[in-house]
Amino acid sequence: MLTNFEYAKPITLTHAVQCLAEKEREVKILSGGTDLLVALRRKQVQPALVIDIKGLKELTALTYTPGQGLSIGAAVCVNRLAEADVVRQYFPALAAAARVLASYQLRNRATVGGNICNASPAADLVPPLLVYEGVLEVVSQRGSRRIPLQDFFTGVKQHVLERDELLQGVFLPDTTDATGATGATGATGATSATGMTNVTDVGGLYLKQGRLKGHDLSIIGLAARLNAAKQFRFAVAAAAPTPLRLFALEELLNAQPFTPALAELAAQAINLYIHPISDVRATAEYRRHMAAVFVRRAVSSLVTAGGKQDG
């Protein structure tokens, strides 16, 4: 049984942030509800008012602007990310993570904003959003602010949003760069409508280990990206109290010659930078083992892709 609560479905952002600013009552935002309804049923949260944000058109847009980037509304559902051509082409690690989040039916409800704001250490969309250097757009009656995703999480299920703030969306800078801007050499070029030659990311991927395909959170998740300047980016899920960008591992690899030996170096080093726990899903030891397996596989595949571009 659910505890009684009032339900509001605003159709303007102004009305939504007005409802959120109510001080006397506990308010909760409902997006897809796949996390919130579980918490309501378990009485982990008992709000007096639930605000459904799925009717806000500002939150359902998915817009790619060449040369600038991808703007993803907080209420965009996970299947839209998995299927959008621009996401698959320019942000492949994000499309890959979306494809392995829960089941097809659940992905029709679950949203990107819910996955971020639920702040689970195992959130599958967060590692790819970290390697693409996502910036969150947050709004309240007091105005708006931008928060780099890497500064958002403060602990298990905890983040820096104030109680009257709403996540409006997340922005990912474009993965294409005008030639020369990144110092990249030899990456395949595509001529844009302006006649400028653009270089794009070499590749990106997301590897997930779960207990049951389609029905469970990650035991470990790894997003890896090799950008146009042949610089690696890594982030992990379920390997620390929060999803984590692995800056130190990136620095280590990016300082080395670009050879297949990088895969083994990454596998040897990754465990210096993660802090997994043992829980119902897996032991810390197994998580450490799989992190090394995944990073070896990811680096090997990205180095091969980078080598082909050169050749």
Ligand X SMILES: Cc1cc2nc3c(=O)[nH]c(=O)nc-3n(C[C@H](O)[C@H](O)[C@H](O)COP(=O)(O)OP(=O)(O)OC[C@H]3O[C@@H](n4cnc5c(N)ncnc54)[C@H](O)[C@@H]3O)c2cc1C
Contact 56, 13 (CB under 8 A): yes
The Cα–Cα gap between 269 and 252 comes to 9
Q: Does 47 bind ligand X (CB under 6 A)?
A: no
Please identify, among the stretches 159-167, 189-197, 241-249, 285-293, the one whose residues bind ligand X according to the rule CB under 6 A.
159-167
The Cα–Cα gap between 151 and 116 comes to 12
Min CB(66)–ligand X separation in Å: 27
Both tokens of 80, joined, read 């839209």
Contact 96, 195 (CB under 8 A): no
**In this chain, which residue has its C-beta nearest to ligand X?**
114
The Cα–Cα gap between 86 and 63 comes to 9
Residues 207-236 that bind ligand X (CB under 6 A): 215, 217
Q: Provide the b/e sequence for 217-242 (b: ≥16 CB within 10 Å).
A: bbbbbbbbbbbbbbbbbbbbbbbbeb
Q: Does 114 bind ligand X (CB under 6 A)?
A: yes
Q: Does 95 bind ligand X (CB under 6 A)?
A: no
Please identify, among the stretches 31-39, 85-93, 224-232, 254-262, the one whose residues bind ligand X according to the rule CB under 6 A.
31-39
**DSSP symbol at 57:** G
Please identify, among the stretches 35-43, 127-135, 144-152, 291-299, the one whose residues bind ligand X according to the rule CB under 6 A.
35-43
Contact 176, 198 (CB under 8 A): yes
Q: Does 110 bind ligand X (CB under 6 A)?
A: yes
**DSSP symbol at 3:** P
Q: Does 298 bind ligand X (CB under 6 A)?
A: no
Min CB(214)–ligand X separation in Å: 8
Q: Does 74 bind ligand X (CB under 6 A)?
A: yes
Considering only 16, 17, 19, 34, the residue that binds ligand X (CB under 6 A) is 34
User: Which residues in this chain contact ligand X in the complex, by CB under 6 A?
Assistant: 28-36, 38, 53, 74, 101-102, 106, 109-111, 113-115, 117-118, 123-124, 161, 166-167, 215, 217
